[in-house]
Amino acid sequence: MNLKHMRDEIAKACDSQTGAVAAIQKETFARIRTALESGENVQIPEFGKFSVRDLPAEGEKPARKVVRFRAATEKAAAGENGTAREPDGDVETLAGEHRGSEE
């Protein structure tokens, strides 16, 4: 699913105009990005948690910050007492690079 498809589906489900949904999406993602860039964690109940982690320099690679996402468990998404779990260990840098976890 891409952002446009998601926007169209949300607009239909909420009986709203796609332009209004697009503006809300844009603002939501901008605020998440701003929080992460300032080092804050972002927790979205029943969805998951974004956190920022410092990775030390390795060889010729400089130290950098990475964003990690931990999806909420099905139990937490159902509103039960669950904890966030990291499904595959993948991390994504703030610059948008994607790589598998080396942990």
Structure confidence at residue 37 (pLDDT): 93
Give the three-state DSSP class for 103: coil
The neighbouring-strand residues paired with 93 are 66
Q: Phi and psi of 95, rounded to 5°?
A: -80, -5
Residue 7, classified by CB atoms within 10 Å of its CB into exposed (0-12), middle (13-18) or buried (19+), is: buried
11-43: pLDDT as tens digits: 999 999 999 999 999 999 999 999 999 999 999
Q: What is the largest CA-CA distance in the chain?
A: 54
Query: Is the whole model's pTM more than 0.85, yes or no?
Result: no
> pLDDT (tens digit, 9 = 90+) per residue, 50-66?
999 999 999 999 999 99
